[in-house]
Amino acid sequence: MKRLVTVAGPVATAQMDGYLLEERLLDRIMIQVVDKGDGNLEIAFHEKDQRYLSQFSAVQQAQWLHEAMLHVEAGCPLETPDGNSAWIADEAPPRARSSIKAMRPARQRHDLPPGLEFLRRD
């Protein structure tokens, strides 16, 4: 499962500057990365940039978003809306607890069966 995280812990939203994709065309155009909470990340252009982006075709915008997702998955720098560094971390699913319990070590002479006296702590 992929999660967006900062030093302080998980976050729901991070962003990257479009300059990393198309230096001049997308400079200061913010690309939002949203953690949906189920291990899926959603990527989209920030709403405030839609007017500028309307001059480009939907195909071109989709291609940029695809490239942005590749950059994000490769570990490009992200930041939260308030400017803190963020990144993607793989979160392993919780492990099931084992029903097998460890045996306690033998403490007394009569605890050990014959032939296993060498396990005694002295």
Domain boundary assignment for the chain: 2-90
Residue 114 has pLDDT above 80, yes or no: no
What digits encode the pLDDT tens for the residues 25-71? 899 899 999 988 777 889 999 999 999 999 999 999 999 999 999 98
Angle, alpha carbons 31-33-38 (nearest 5°): 160
Q: Per residue in 28-47, is it b (16+ CB within 10 Å) or e — as a string?
A: ebbbbbbbeeeeebebebee
Residue 111 has pLDDT above 90, yes or no: no
Q: Which residue has the tokens 């990365």?
A: 33
Long-range contacts of 111-120 (CB under 8 A, 24+ apart): none
More confident residue, 102 or 92: 102
pTM to 2 decimals?
0.67
Q: Per residue in 78-110, is it b (16+ CB within 10 Å) or e — as a string?
A: bbbeeeeebbbeeeeeeeeeeeeeeeeeeeeee
Question: What pLDDT shows up at residue 58?
Answer: 94
pLDDT average, residue stretch 76-104: 77
Chain mean pLDDT for the chain: 83
The DSSP secondary-structure symbol of 118 reads G
